[in-house]
């Protein structure tokens, strides 16, 4: 199977597959005499795993690590379970942060309705966003 066919089967582009190879989540395949990559069925299984793991929120670095753990010490199930635990906890944290940010934004928005634009302070950019906001959390990065 050449790279284009594999890409079509996996629902990816050839570019992405080469990128996965350099990213270490897909092993280097055999080469045909022409130099073309020559894949077998296990590459497709691997790509399906990568997609499923990505859908579960794992980064390529984590996926690479899972694969390495498996290659070194057998089934990485416990490792994967730990990763999933960590991700669930991260997601909980991020959801809570975003919910708090949403509430702040909503509060500002509601306050804006009760403000008179003509009374906008000349020294500030816009009084809808109070520069001395006491509730100003450190910029809520949304990574």
Partner DNA sequence: CTTGACCTTCCACCGCAGGGGAGGCTTTAC
Partner DNA sequence: GTAAAGCCTCCCCTGCGGTGGAAGGTCAAG
Structure tokens belonging to residue 32: 């045909």
80 binds DNA, rule: CB under 7 A: no
C-alpha span between 137 and 25 (Å, rounded): 38
Judged by beta carbon, residue 18 or residue 94, the one nearer DNA is: 18
Which whole-number Å values give the CA distances from 56 to 51, 52, 81, 83, in the listed order? Answer: 9, 6, 12, 10
C-alpha span between 122 and 99 (Å, rounded): 32
C-alpha span between 93 and 4 (Å, rounded): 40
94 binds DNA, rule: CB under 7 A: no
Residues numbered 30 to 59 that lie near DNA (CB under 7 A) are 32-37, 54, 59
80 binds its own copies, rule: CB under 8 A: yes
**Chain positions contacting its own copies, by CB under 8 A:** 42, 45-46, 48-49, 51-57, 66-67, 70, 74-78, 80-81, 84-85, 87-88, 91-92, 94-95, 98-99, 101-102, 104-106, 108-109, 112-113, 115, 117-118, 120, 123-133, 136-140, 142-143
């Amino acid at each position: 199977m050449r790279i284009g066919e594999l890409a079509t089967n996996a629902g990816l582009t050839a570019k992405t597959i080469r990128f996965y190879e350099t990213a270490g989540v897909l092993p280097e395949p055999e080469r045909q005499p022409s130099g073309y990559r020559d894949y077998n069925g296990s590459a497709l299984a691997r790509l399906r795993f990568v997609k499923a793991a990505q859908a579960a929120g794992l980064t390529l670095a984590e996926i690479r690590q899972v694969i390495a753990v498996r290659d070194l010490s057998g089934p990485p199930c416990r490792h994967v379970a730990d990763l999933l635990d960590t991700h669930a906890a991260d997601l909980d944290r991020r959801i809570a942060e975003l919910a708090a940010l949403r509430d702040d934004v909503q509060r500002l928005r509601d306050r804006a309705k009760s403000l008179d634009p003509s009374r906008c302070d000349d020294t500030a950019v816009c009084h809808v966003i109070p520069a001395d906001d006491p509730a100003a959390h450190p910029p809520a990065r949304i990574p």
